[in-house]
Structures are given as structure tokens and as C-alpha cells.
């Protein structure tokens, strides 16, 4: 019984908050263009679905491609950097510079330079998401047990054998942790870039829809779009957490 209550606790809390929200909005007669109640948001979600769904597909498309680009290019860059000290010394400062420069500040430039809106958004989102992958994967590639490194040396392993059979598997927990961060960041990057780009005709995503809804004081639609963005973020995280658990199920709980 206790366990049932414990499992249901977050849902009950959420439901309670929604009910309180709806009651508060009704009691204070708050107009929907200031704060819509959850029922109005739900109605907007259903009514505006034909507009919301393509925007959702667009944003998810940009987010997922930026994530995949971060995951692959980030690992590649980490491999290059850990292969030689010189490479790391030369490249890492620029990776840091790209990371610390706010994406809002470079997004306008990228949007001007790159003709294709979708591609420019993808680049912005990638710039936000790739750094945790690179830095985590680099740490991971260097984290192989020194005794195992000795053992590989003792048995005369080639650098490629050592990379594939020792360094890459040793890096997996670190890399996966980087991916979990990158998942959320690629969504944030995609949304921020879209805000900067504004609504670009019919091919635009949820953030552009939020902007447009804001101009029109259509708060229920804005909230509906916001809700969808949150759901995408949560799903992304849950999927990556599941992947991590799946890959690392046989590893020691610590180390």
C-alpha cells in the first residue's frame, strides 16, 4: 500500500496542482490572455493540433539531427584529441570558445550565412550540444585502468586494438553521461535558435509558434506548444537514460 502511494505521489501532486490552477484562474477571473487555465490549454492542444503537429515534427527533427551530429562528431573529435597531446592543445581551446559563446549571440550570423533555415538551426543546436559529448568522451578515453593498459602492452596489443577493446569501452559510461546532457541541450539549442530566426514561413517549429502566439496574445496555444516542448525534452532524457541502463547493465555499480 505504501509503495502504491509512493509511486502515485508525483501524479497526485501534478493533478492537485492542475486542479488548484484551474480553480485559481476561475475564482480570480483571470483573462486567458494573461493566464489560461489547464482546461483551456488542453482545448487548444486539441483544436490547434493541425498547426502544432507539423511544428512539433520540425522541432523534433532539428533536435534529433543536432543530437546525432553531436553524438557522432563529438566522439570523433574526442578520438582525434586523445590521439595526440598536440591535437588536444591545438583544438581544445576552440571547443571551449565555441561552448562559452552564447548561442543567441552567434545564431543571427549563422542564420544569415546559411541559406537553409533548417540547416542553420541544426548548426546552432549542434554548437550548444556537442561540448559535453567531447569533454566527457575525452575524459572517458583517458580513464582506462592503467593496469589494463599495462596488460595490453605486455601482450603486445596494437594502438588500434587498445583503442577498440580497451579505451572505447572504458569511455562508454562517460560518453553516455555526455549524451544525456547533450539530449537536453540540443532541444534547448533548437528552440533558442528558432526564437532568433523567428517564424520562417510554413516550415517552422514550436518556438516560432510560441513567438507568433505571443504576438497574438493566444496564450492557450503558447502553453500548448510549451507543453509539447517539455514532453519532447522529457522523452529524450528518458530514452537516453534507458539506453544507458541497457548498455551498462553488466557493469559494476561503481567504477
Partner 1 sequence: MSADPKPLIAVEGLCKVWPNGGEALRDITLALPSTPQFLSLVGPSGCGKSTLLRLIAGLERPTRGTIGWPSAAAPAIGYVFQEPTLMPWATVFENVYLPFKIAGVSRRASRDAIMEALRGVHLEDAADRYPRELSGGMKMRVSVARALAPRPKILLMDEPFAALDEITRLKLNNDLLALWEALGMTVIFVTHSVFESVYLSNRIVVMAAGPGRIAADLAIEAPYPRDEAFRASALYADACVQVSAALKRAMGEAS
User: In whole angstroms, how close is the CB of 75 to partner 1 at the nearest point?
Assistant: 17
Rule CB under 8 A: is residue 164 a binding residue for partner 1?
no
- Applying CB under 8 A, the span of 78-86, 118-126, 205-213, 245-253 interacting with partner 1 comes to 245-253
* C-beta of 53 vs 251, nearer to partner 1: 251
Q: Could you give the dihedral angle defined by the CA atoms of residues 227, 61, 71 and 106, in that order, rounded to the nearest 10 degrees?
A: -80
Q: What is the DSSP letter of 34?
A: T
* C-beta of 6 vs 147, nearer to partner 1: 147
107 vs 37: CA distance, rounded Å: 34
Out of 151, 234, 238, 241, point to the residue binding partner 1 (CB under 8 A): 151
Rule CB under 8 A: is residue 172 a binding residue for partner 1?
yes
User: In whole angstroms, how close is the CB of 247 to partner 1 at the nearest point?
Assistant: 9
Task: Give DSSP secondary structure letters for 219-246.
Answer: HHHHHHHHHHHHHHHHHHHHHHHHHHHH
* C-beta of 53 vs 165, nearer to partner 1: 165
96 vs 135: CA distance, rounded Å: 9
- Applying CB under 8 A, the span of 79-87, 102-110, 158-166, 214-222 interacting with partner 1 comes to 158-166
Out of 104, 150, 198, 217, point to the residue binding partner 1 (CB under 8 A): 150
Nearest Cα residue to 130 out of 63, 81, 69: 69
Size of the site for partner 1 (CB under 8 A): 21
Nearest Cα residue to 236 out of 192, 183, 188: 183
* C-beta of 22 vs 162, nearer to partner 1: 162
Out of 31, 169, 198, 214, point to the residue binding partner 1 (CB under 8 A): 169
**Residues with Cβ within 8 Å of residue 74, at least 6 apart in sequence:** 130, 131, 132, 133, 134, 137, 178, 182
162 vs 120: CA distance, rounded Å: 38
Rule CB under 8 A: is residue 11 a binding residue for partner 1?
no
Out of 114, 157, 163, 243, point to the residue binding partner 1 (CB under 8 A): 157
Rule CB under 8 A: is residue 10 a binding residue for partner 1?
no
Cβ–Cβ < 8 Å for 241, 180: yes
Amino acid at each position: 500500500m505504501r509503495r502504491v502511494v509512493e509511486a502515485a505521489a508525483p501524479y497526485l501532486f501534478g493533478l492537485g496542482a492542475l486542479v488548484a490552477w484551474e480553480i485559481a484562474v476561475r475564482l480570480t477571473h483571470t483573462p486567458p490572455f494573461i493566464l489560461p487555465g489547464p482546461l483551456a490549454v488542453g482545448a487548444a492542444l486539441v483544436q490547434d493540433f493541425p498547426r502544432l503537429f507539423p511544428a512539433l515534427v520540425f522541432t523534433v527533427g532539428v533536435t534529433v539531427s543536432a543530437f546525432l551530429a553531436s553524438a557522432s562528431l563529438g566522439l570523433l573529435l574526442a578520438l582525434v584529441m586523445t590521439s595526440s597531446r598536440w591535437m588536444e592543445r591545438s583544438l581544445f581551446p576552440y571547443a571551449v570558445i565555441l561552448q562559452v559563446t552564447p548561442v543567441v549571440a552567434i545564431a543571427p550570423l549563422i542564420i544569415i550565412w546559411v541559406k537553409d533555415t533548417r540547416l542553420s538551426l541544426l548548426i546552432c543546436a549542434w554548437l550548444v550540444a556537442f561540448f559535453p559529448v567531447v569533454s566527457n568522451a575525452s575524459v572517458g578515453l583517458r580513464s582506462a585502468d592503467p593496469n589494463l593498459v599495462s596488460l595490453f602492452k605486455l601482450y603486445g596489443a596494437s594502438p588500434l586494438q587498445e583503442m577498440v577493446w580497451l579505451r572505447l569501452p572504458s569511455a562508454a559510461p562517460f560518453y553516455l553521461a555526455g549524451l544525456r546532457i547533450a539530449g537536453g541541450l540540443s532541444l534547448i539549442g533548437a528552440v533558442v535558435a528558432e526564437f532568433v530566426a523567428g517564424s520562417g514561413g510554413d516550415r517552422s517549429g514550436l518556438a516560432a509558434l510560441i513567438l507568433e502566439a505571443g504576438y497574438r496574445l493566444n496564450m492557450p496555444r503558447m502553453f500548448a506548444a510549451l507543453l509539447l516542448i517539455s514532453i519532447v525534452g522529457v522523452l529524450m532524457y528518458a530514452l537516453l537514460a534507458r539506453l544507458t541502463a541497457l548498455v551498462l547493465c553488466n557493469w559494476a555499480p561503481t567504477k
